[in-house]
Structure 1
Amino acid sequence: MTNHNMNTNKTIKWGILGCGNIAHYFAQDLGSIPNAKLHAVASRNLQKAKDFGEKYDAPQAYGSYEELSKDNEIDVIYIATPHVFHHENTIMCLNNNKAVLCEKPFAMNISQVEEMISIAKEKQIFLMEALWTYFLPHYDHVLKLIGSKEFGNVKTVTADFGFAATFNPDGRLFNKKLGGGSLLDVGIYPLFAALSILGYPDKIEANATFGKTGVDETCTMKLEYSNGTSASLFSAISKDTNTEAIIEFEKATIKINTQFHKPSSITILKNGVSESFEFPVTTNGYNYEAIHVQNMLLQNRTESTIMTFDKSLQLIKMLDTVREKIGLQYS
């Protein structure tokens, strides 16, 4: 049903919950979107929230997440806290009737994700996992090429995402209490690539290396499909990798160039000839998902037409399965 009275000029007022690095990138990009206004930010440290708010012209700063979730001016809240808090933060915002865009991974396991989705459905409030890669121009282009069957069927997907993080046992990457490890932080991107290109696998194999804090520092994953296709995936927080996605078709190979999950370029290799395609992006790239969220809200939708609940459920199910295979448990 189309809402013909849709007011496309309505300003959407955003709240940002959590003031870490990713929140800064997101706030910068909100500034590039017509009809988007950063209205309020919250940190558990009021001074941090005030400094953040000042930097991005947000009129309101709160020293508690609860206060932000109760601000009646806000249309939608972007949740940018560590993984372990996504579930409780999302539910609090939904219970205060706020639409939510929650950073990936959506939550720590499938039961948490199911609860978040069921509350959003029950209250008929918009909720989406912030898998920004899905909305980036280069990635959208690749998915259209796959759909067109121009190069035949996909045979294999190879994707990796690794970086050498500075070891800090208390930092969120290495701290088990904060949902640390390579899988949830960056392994989610190669898994997402396989899911968005090949669908849900029939078989998942995985193994990992663990560091002294008990989190996976590298994770190797193999997905197999009944039609014979497969995906080889890798993630690491202990070493730098190419961070590319390579899609092998019957008639060509597409390489999504380094840092495939971010705004990037692609190279198509066909009959021995290589051709590159640029997708110039002037922002950090978070504006694309934010614009999508605004469009969904203006259409009174309660679920994304792209990053659907089903996609989020399949993704968390894959993450849960990999964790089970590698023997990684969070309390």
Structure 2
Amino acid sequence: MLSVDEKDPDRPIRWGVLATGGIAAAVTADLLRMPDAEVVAVASRTTAAAENFADRFGIGRAYGDWAALAADDEVDVVYVATPHSAHRAAAGLLLEAGRAVLCEKAFTLNAAQAAELVAIARRREVFLMEAMWMYCNPLIRRMTALVADGAIGAIRTVHADFGLSGGFPPEHRLRDPALGGGALLDLGVYPVSFAQLLLGEPDHVQARGTLSPEGVDLNTGMLLGWDSGASALLSCSIVAESPMTASVSGTAGRIEFDRGFFYPDRFVLRRDGREPEEFVIEGDRASYRHEAVEVTRCLRAGETQSPLVPLEGSLAVMRTLDAVRERIGVRYPGEASAGAGSGAGTGTEV
């Protein structure tokens, strides 16, 4: 794959956007504020939706089908903002056409689909990254550096939660199995990704969940374990608002994140025998700019994946999510079993 620098080192990165919902709008707004980014095309399942989005953001080309965006040679990278159930089809189409892809989380419905996307990207030598913006946040990166340097000793426990009391009706996408609904893929992916950023893929997975009449998880608790002795207590919900905090405790101290740990503006480091240390970030804590900056850096360097959001890490998170679904009994249409039979390397506890 030729890097963007080799094509034209001076021009901005040209973005396409696939889907026109709220998250697509938020990311597009941030891209438009970046001096080295241009949003040049948008695609939706209907021409009307694409044109309305293009008019709203001043985008030059609007396509009523995904294939037209995939065929647009004036697009360097596409941000995929469809529901989880369409990630495999949308990202796969783009990758096969040679388009670099930034794909919303959860990466796909299950680990098998994620592995298929990674295989396409590697075969075509095209950039692919999960849009795990938390991993690109400067404070999260600072935390991982501190942990790696031994600031809190050996990690022993991780706590993280993400719950909303949305009162979502049965027809809402979060309650629709066909769209990958439920708390786990939309919200639980953050606590799981937070824990695995620090500890890697767990050796043991336990979970309990409450399911809706439609068969998606409304409330899920997870206990992940590592043979090192570390554990993570995680939860997600679409029926109860939680603190949305996180903490990492080690043998020599702990790190604490306030509400919104997945897009933090501060954390506190508490070490034995020392005064607490506060780390802060300035600017818009809800900005998607950090992940777009990382994509830009990778494309200009000719890299096919990001070291901040490596593909193996995304696959490992999907395997854990599969294992959780296997244990709580969530199965999406077309899957042979909950989690599609993946979940390798995640233990057998029930």
For the superposition of Structure 1 and Structure 2, which TM-score range results when normalised by the shorter chain?
over 0.9
Q: Distance in 2 between matches of 1:221 and 1:56?
A: 40
Contact 1:29 1:284 in 2 (8 A): no
The 5 Å alignment of 1:34-183 reads 34-183=35-184
Cα drift, residue 299 of structure 1: 1.0
Q: Which amino acid aligns with 1:197?
A: L
Aligned to 2:340: none
SS in 1 for 2:175: coil
Match of 2:323 in 1: 321
Distance 1:215 1:4, change over 3 A: closer
Q: Deviations over 1:105-159 (max 9, x none)?
A: 1111111111111111111111111111000111111111111102211111000
Q: Secondary structure at the match of 1:268?
A: strand
Gaps of 5+ in 1: none
Is 1:246 aligned to residue 247 of structure 2? yes
8 Å contact from structure 1 (residues 258, 264) kept in 2:
no
Task: Report the TM-score when normalising by structure 2.
Answer: 0.90
Aligned counterpart, 2:297: 295
| CA distance in 1 between partners of 2:218 and 2:260 (Å) | 19
Q: Distance between the aligned counterparts of 2:195 and 2:8, measured in 1? A: 37
Matches within 5 A, 1:181-220: 181-220=182-221
- 2: CA distance, partners of 1:39 / 1:229: 46
1:189 deviation in Å? 0.4
Partner of 1:261: 262
Alpha carbons of structure 1 residues 180 and 230: separation in structure 2 relative to 1, 3 Å = same
Whole-Å Cα distance in 1 between the matches of residues 7 and 70 of structure 2? 25
Distance 1:272 1:156 in 2: 21
Alpha-carbon shift at residue 6 of structure 1 (Å)? 8.5
2:315 is the counterpart of 1:310 = no
| Structure-1 separation of matches of 2:181 and 2:71 | 30
CA contact (8 A) 1:158 1:245 kept: yes
- Call closer, same or farther: CA 1:4–1:262 in 2, change over 3 Å: closer
How far apart, CA to CA, are the structure 1 residues paired with 2:274 and 2:308? 34
Q: How many residues align?
A: 330
> What is the root-mean-square deviation of aligned Cα atoms in Å?
1.8
Determine helix, strand or coil for the equivalent of 1:234.
Answer: strand
Q: Is the 8 A contact 1:14 1:76 kept in 2?
A: yes
Structure 1 residues 194-223: Cα deviation after superposition (integer angstroms, max 9, x where no partner): 100111111110010112221100110001
Task: Render the CA deviation track for 1:283-305: whole Å, top value 9, x for unaligned.
Answer: 63211111111111111111222
Cα distance change of structure 1 residues 187 and 283 upon mapping to structure 2, 3 Å threshold: closer
User: What is the distance in 1 between the residues matched to 2:179 and 2:7?
Assistant: 41
Q: From the superposition, tell whether residues 87 and 3 of structure 1 become closer, same or farther in structure 2 (CA, over 3 Å).
A: closer
Could you tell me how far 1:17 is from its partner in structure 2?
0.1
Asked if the contact 2:4/2:299 (under 8 Å) is kept, the reply is: no
Q: C-alpha separation between the residues in 1 aligned to 2:144 and 2:72?
A: 38
**TM value normalised by structure 1:** 0.95
Q: 1:8 to 1:144 in 2, by over 3 A?
A: farther
How far apart, in 2, do the equivalents of 1:73 and 1:4 lie? 15
Measure how far apart 1:43 and its partner are: 1.7
More displaced stretch, 50-59 vs 144-153? 50-59
Aligned AA (1:306): L
For 2:179, give the aligned amino acid: L
1:14 is displaced (CA, Å) by 0.3
